[in-house]
Structure 1
Amino acid sequence: MKSIRLSFLLFFLFLGNIQAQVLTSPGQTLQMKFALTEAGEPLYLVNLNNQPVVLPSKLGFDLKNDDIDLLDGFQITKTENSTFDETWTPVWGEESQIRNHYNELMVELTQTKTGRKMVIRFRAFDEGLGFRYEFPLQEDMGYFVVKEEKTQFAMTGDHVAFWIPGDYDTQEYDFTESKLSEIRGLMKTAITPNASQTPFSDTGVQTSLIMKSADGLYINLHEAALIDYPAMHLELDDEQMIFTSHLTPDAIGDKGYLYTPAQTPWRTIIAGKKAGNILASRITYNLNEPSKIEDPSWIKPMKYVGVWWEMITGKSSWSYTNDYKAIKLGETDYSKASPNGTHGATTENVKKYIDFAAKHGFDGVLVEGWNVGWEDWFGNSKDYVFDFLTPYPDFDLKGISAYAKEKGVQMIMHHETSSSVRNYERHMDEAYQLMKDYGYPAVKSGYVGDMLPRGEYHYSQWLVNHYQYAIEKAAEYQIMVNAHEAVRPTGVGRTWPNLIANESARGTEYQAFGGSKANHVTILPFTRQIGGPMDYTPGVFEMDVFNGSHVNSTLANQLALYVTMYSPLQMAADFPENYDRFPDAFQFIKDVALDWEKSLYLEAEPGYFLTIARKAKGTGEWFVGNVNGMDRRTGEVKFDFLESGKTYIAEIYGDKTDAHFKTNPQAYEIRKVAVDSNSVLKQFSAPGGGYAIRIRAAGKEELKGLKKLK
């Protein structure tokens, strides 16, 4: 292994700056070198502040039914350098302005034997690199099928990684912390049951992957702008510590179908000496195209409650009756069926949630199980499973819409497809029009179960195109999309900001399915959220849930998630009666903002702790969230981000000293102190705990009697 890497390094050393193409970032912090071997193989390497991040790594493709692959035999026939600098305004986000500043190198390669041209475009940012393949319109290359993309990421050592198994159908795994060399031995225990799953290798892992080197460098590997292409996984050669891209296949094993002109998604490498550097990077968004929605004024962040958690925990059901084993839409007469008495989406029950939302200032109410077909929706390989139009007899679609409008609350539609995507596309226009007719501004779509057409996978090119079609079709009807079980996001929310959230990871629902690791939420921002916001559905106050499972979190940790798990769509997931039990803690959920002017990453160590401060857009208030791992810890927050010369009130929601996610999760305390830009807070976090802080301006009268935090 060492000899192979040494030969690569010597190769680049001898090339120097004469034959190698060198690209540096605007601030000169990142350097990328590109060259061809004697065999005409493309190679690149990446350094950050003169520290190796990616060792010399090969680039190219295996093609199907082609004697000559796009791996070697290339000559450099053209290069172009350029620079770009803009500041753009996101529709929603972790900050109100994003700078997009990079230097670019375009390398045109021509394969000597075939005359085929392939362009590799590199963009160097100060904190990382993005690159993609492009195939210009050309006589020698029209249609072609990708057997495998062979992009390499050669690591400098046996890094510590937080990973989930490579899988064509699910990201819903707990993360495993290990060295790269240990992945193979831990894979079997890392693969836990799911409704649909297809793991493919003993050393295959998913992106976004976060790693830490022995000398303290944090590295993230992912992709951006996943459009008309299969999702990328990473296959590890655990002897040489080299990752190679592994694309999701289709039903017959092919990876990608392309025709010129074409381009791949961007492959991204983000690196930093601090973990917070990874979180602060906007490379993923910046590598996506600007918004294609000319007037996005209808896209608005939402805070919502809903008829969901009671179903997840088994208190109520999605289905209306137990009379039928099989349902044929349009033929089954529900008026003759006996109600099962557990159906959650009844008019009476939904009105209770609307009343609760109106009373406490929530924007919306989500209802699952409102439409016919839930009696045999899962596991039957059923094509015509839902019509997304017909309500159950006990759900008054028109009446609910009018009642919500009267109360000033918007309804959120639910479209579970049961992974029958052809059926969803069959009904999509009518379903979205129904939403418009009844005033539903957002839809939560779902893709539970094995894919139909049979043999397809959730992350293949065909399905990636379906998800994109759903987003763009929704935009025609001015509908926001929150997709569950879809492909993990890659910054496409910049181009289509009506993609307001995704699940695409192990969310709160798994706390009712046996629980997630207590440090799970300290990892997700470094992995899943690199590509976009997550509908994690936080806010559970009763940890011993209806079905006997236990939520591995303290109540204070649940509050902190509204700050640390960024999303412009945030749910208060618990039963209304549990919020009524803890009205003082519930106040933070009501107060916390959804859209941000600025975000600061104060303390960060994936798997162990994370503290984020965010300034709310429009109000000037600050919110701080801390989530903690498995060990009790006292963190430190410096309030030097506050405006100098002003005194504020800090409302601190924290764990009591005897709190513990397993044994005492509801032990919290709330206190108010006066703070200014010189104040420093030392705050305790329990195992699986954390704290949440609201910081607001206050007058002299309100500040009287408050202790000043020094």
Structure 2
Amino acid sequence: MRNGVIYKGLPFLASAIFLFSSFNAISQSMSLSSKLGSNKITLSLTKSGELHYQVTRRDKTIIADSPLGLTCDDQDFTSGLSLVKVSPIGVRRENYDLKVGNVKTINQVFETKSITFKNKLGALLIIDLVTGKEGVAFRYRFPDQAKKIRVINTESTGFHIEKSAKGWLQPYNKAGKVTPGYEDFYFKVHPGDSISNPRNPSVGWCMPALFQVNEGKNWVLLAESGTDGSYPGCHLQPDSQGGVYKIAFAEQDEKYTLPLGSNNHPTYNLPWTMPWRVIIIGEQAGDILLSSLITDLAPASKLDDTSWIEPEKATWSWWSHPEDRSAEIYNSFTDLAASFGFGYTLFDAGWEKANTEKGIIAQATAKGVKPMVWAYSAAYFDPEKRKAKFKELAAMGVKGVKIDFWCSDRQEVMACFQSLLEDAAKEHLLVNLHGTTVPRGWHRTWPNFMTAEAVLGTEHYFYEARYPDKAAEQNTVLPFTRNVAGPTDYTPFALTIRKYPRLNTAVHELATAMIYTSGIIHFADSKEMFESLPVLVRQLLKDMPATWDKTESLVAEPGEQIILSRQNGKLSYIVGINGTDKAMPVNLNLTKYAKGFSKFRVISEGENALMTFKTETYPITSTWQHAFAPKGGFIIQFINE
């Protein structure tokens, strides 16, 4: 009673305040913020028990309200869910070295939390959350110890991207003669756009998928990490209604010539931990390029001794002599590798006959060049046959294998990759996968995994009429998409004109060898072309490392231009390429990168920009101004003379 008036609503008000406080506490308990980077992921339950999440950075929406959940053969985890418990916030440190990467040594700290839900039947589902300065991630986990096999029929995971965002997405090609192989263009789209004019019929969008959101203030990359034999490689469904991109499994017909069954749904024994859904976030596109979040979340290296694993450059005969599999050609490329100081040479298809007749492997070994050999996927799918073949190759002196034509993201193929990398490591063999899916952090777990194709690379001057016109643009998109997922065998630097004539300048092509990250850089083009290069360009190829201690992003504009600083030991470079057909100004402050050097050499376009180079040497200055040639490039090499 107050002033003679009884306020009968007060108990109800107190109850409402209590309920609001309880709801707020639950909401807070189901969120996780990073101490660095201000990234946050928050889970929520609807009244009907449907699970959702959202992602923010400094309170700005990155991923709007998006669905989570799984439907299984025996349980439904898409509705009727209730909260069981929330773990305390944990701290996770990832400190490791990579044999192949933009940065050699990684040291990251993350916040972690696990949230347990139950469905109407009492079955449990755990969502593990991770936040760090480079983004957030989550994964599903079934803790049930029943040791039974469970099948996932659908995964409801979505990524709600604002409609005004800009996207760079690659179509996921349906199963075909050499698809899916992640060898399509990255198209500039808006959320909700349908797939238009892909290279091959397509059934979805690939990951990694890049978006610019918040009126251009943030960049986000959607990716996966830690995919192993427990799950297929996933892509995104073709339709993003309302801007929500949903997870899709590998298609049933992605078999190529492999002996796969008819079930394309994830199937595994309980308990079951699934791959990470990774959301990399940054203010600049360069933050995406330099992120290590995918390898941070992958299992740690399974190899105690990695001293035998050596990133290096390689010669490769196929691009210049696709029909010539003679011992003479293979031996000439061994000689080329020796003359340039390259560590490897790759003997492509047909090498077996040449080796039987002329002993090309022994000749390479005698000249100090480590041979790698091409192989067909079907010959390495059966575990026992694979192990025997690896032993045979190692005994011959082979140091690595390029295994081609997988054309599948099926779960059985993901499982094969893990055992293949392990079997190869036991014989001290390096691995290069072609005609394949993108890596998912595997080069941390298996450091002998040096590179993979899964890219629309140089070989498409043979195969794709649109490639010459779009190659420069693609070359400035791939470092922010495909190469973030893992090492990329782009097979760079080919000047000879092929079926579809090149439009990029010679320096642009040369610069791609230093823009892309790959544990083994397979240089295309002929022995004669390499030997005809100017002395200083040949010397650059000899000096150029195949991996880097440190990388910095100086200019990062996907589809337009990219400029990187690359360092390895005492070697220091700045390299850039223009993705447009217009001249573009370049203004750089060299002070930071020139320390300890007296001069810098610039390699740029010569008189005939398509085929020739110009080299100029200058004393160190604080600033450098240049004009990118259309579809051009440049390389700065800091030197002491």
Name the residue aligned to 2:508.
557
Q: TM-score, normalised by structure 1?
A: 0.80
The alignment partner of 1:298 has SS state of coil
Name the residue aligned to 1:175.
186
Name the residue aligned to 1:416.
376
Name the residue aligned to 1:350.
330
Could you tell me whether the CA contact under 8 Å between 1:647 and 1:674 is conserved in 2?
no
Partners of 1:498 and 1:239 in 2: how far apart?
41
Tell me how far 1:28 sits from its aligned partner: 5.4
Q: Counterparts of 1:380-419 in structure 2 under 5 Å?
A: 391-392=352-353, 394-396=354-356, 399-417=359-377, 419=378
Partners of 1:574 and 1:635 in 2: how far apart?
29
Q: TM-score, normalised by structure 2?
A: 0.89
Name the residue aligned to 2:244.
242
Could you tell me whether the CA contact under 8 Å between 2:519 and 2:547 is conserved in 1?
yes
Deviation digits for residues 223-262 of structure 1 (CA, Å, limit 9, x no counterpart): 1111121111112554411111111143535421022111
Match of 1:360 among 329, 334, 340: 340
Residue 329 of structure 2 aligns with an amino acid whose one-letter code is: N
Tell me how far 1:572 sits from its aligned partner: 1.8
Could you tell me whether the CA contact under 8 Å between 1:628 and 1:687 is conserved in 2?
yes
Name the residue aligned to 2:491.
537
Alignment of 1:442 onto 2:378 = no
Alignment of 1:369 onto 2:378 = no
Distance change >3 Å, CA 310–CA 426, structure 1 → 2: farther
Name the residue aligned to 1:579.
530
Residue 223 of structure 1 aligns with an amino acid whose one-letter code is: E
Deviation digits for residues 152-179 of structure 1 (CA, Å, limit 9, x no counterpart): 1111233211111123522111121122
Partners of 1:638 and 1:665 in 2: how far apart?
28
The alignment partner of 1:166 has SS state of strand
Tell me how far 1:425 sits from its aligned partner: 4.5
Name the residue aligned to 2:540.
588
Tell me how far 1:17 sits from its aligned partner: 4.7
Alignment of 1:695 onto 2:638 = yes
Tell me how far 1:15 sits from its aligned partner: 4.8
Name the residue aligned to 1:708.
none
Could you tell me whether the CA contact under 8 Å between 1:218 and 1:275 is conserved in 2?
yes
Partners of 2:252 and 2:196 in 1: how far apart?
24
Residue 622 of structure 1 aligns with an amino acid whose one-letter code is: S
Partners of 2:394 and 2:41 in 1: how far apart?
49
Alignment of 1:566 onto 2:533 = no
Name the residue aligned to 2:157.
151
Name the residue aligned to 1:9.
none
Partners of 1:669 and 1:17 in 2: how far apart?
65
Q: Counterparts of 1:217-228 in structure 2 under 5 Å?
A: 217-228=218-229
Name the residue aligned to 1:671.
616
What are the ranges of 5 or more consecutive residues in structure 2 without an aligned counterpart?
Answer: 1-19, 175-179, 254-261
Could you tell me whether the CA contact under 8 Å between 1:655 and 1:685 is conserved in 2?
no
Match of 1:58 among 48, 67, 71: 67
Distance change >3 Å, CA 433–CA 398, structure 1 → 2: farther
Name the residue aligned to 2:549.
597
Deviation digits for residues 528-579 of structure 1 (CA, Å, limit 9, x no counterpart): 111111011101122x12xx32134211011211221011211221101011
CA RMSD of aligned residues (A): 2.3
The alignment partner of 2:638 has SS state of strand
Alignment of 1:135 onto 2:142 = yes
Tell me how far 1:615 sits from its aligned partner: 0.9
Q: Counterparts of 1:161-240 in structure 2 under 5 Å?
A: 161-168=167-174, 169-181=180-192, 183-184=193-194, 187-190=195-198, 192-193=199-200, 199-200=202-203, 204-213=204-213, 215-216=215-216, 217-228=218-229, 229-235=231-237, 237-240=239-242
Name the residue aligned to 1:648.
598
Could you tell me whether the CA contact under 8 Å between 1:501 and 1:533 is conserved in 2?
yes
Could you tell me whether the CA contact under 8 Å between 2:440 and 2:485 is conserved in 1?
yes
Alignment of 1:526 onto 2:537 = no
Alignment of 1:125 onto 2:132 = yes
The alignment partner of 1:588 has SS state of helix
Name the residue aligned to 2:56.
47
Name the residue aligned to 1:324.
none
Identity of aligned residues (%): 25
Alignment of 1:97 onto 2:105 = yes
Match of 1:31 among 18, 34, 40: 40
Deviation digits for residues 165-221 of structure 1 (CA, Å, limit 9, x no counterpart): 12352211112112223x31xx2412x24xxxx622xxx211000111251121110
Could you tell me whether the CA contact under 8 Å between 2:61 and 2:214 is conserved in 1?
no
Name the residue aligned to 1:333.
none
Tell me how far 1:605 sits from its aligned partner: 0.8
Partners of 2:99 and 2:342 in 1: how far apart?
20
Distance change >3 Å, CA 642–CA 254, structure 1 → 2: closer
Distance change >3 Å, CA 230–CA 426, structure 1 → 2: same
Of 620-629 and 576-585, deviating more is 576-585
Tell me how far 1:614 sits from its aligned partner: 1.1
Deviation digits for residues 623-653 of structure 1 (CA, Å, limit 9, x no counterpart): 2221211232122222243365x44321211
Could you tell me whether the CA contact under 8 Å between 1:308 and 1:366 is conserved in 2?
no
Match of 1:432 among 390, 414, 421: 390
Distance change >3 Å, CA 16–CA 479, structure 1 → 2: same
Residue 512 of structure 1 aligns with an amino acid whose one-letter code is: F
Partners of 2:435 and 2:103 in 1: how far apart?
27
Partners of 1:13 and 1:242 in 2: how far apart?
31
Tell me how far 1:37 sits from its aligned partner: 1.5
Could you tell me whether the CA contact under 8 Å between 2:252 and 2:264 is conserved in 1?
yes
Partners of 1:410 and 1:421 in 2: how far apart?
21
Tell me how far 1:146 sits from its aligned partner: 1.1
Alignment coverage as a number of residue pairs: 600
Residue 494 of structure 2 aligns with an amino acid whose one-letter code is: V
Alignment of 1:487 onto 2:433 = no
Of 629-638 and 122-131, deviating more is 629-638
Residue 206 of structure 2 aligns with an amino acid whose one-letter code is: Q
Partners of 2:460 and 2:395 in 1: how far apart?
34
Name the residue aligned to 1:71.
78
Could you tell me whether the CA contact under 8 Å between 1:559 and 1:588 is conserved in 2?
no
Partners of 1:292 and 1:246 in 2: how far apart?
29
Partners of 1:138 and 1:309 in 2: how far apart?
52
Distance change >3 Å, CA 356–CA 296, structure 1 → 2: same
Alignment of 1:259 onto 2:269 = yes
Could you tell me whether the CA contact under 8 Å between 1:157 and 1:213 is conserved in 2?
no
Deviating 4+ runs (over 6 angstroms)? none
Of 291-300 and 87-96, deviating more is 87-96
Partners of 2:167 and 2:379 in 1: how far apart?
35
Residue 395 of structure 2 aligns with an amino acid whose one-letter code is: D
The alignment partner of 2:197 has SS state of helix
The alignment partner of 1:641 has SS state of helix
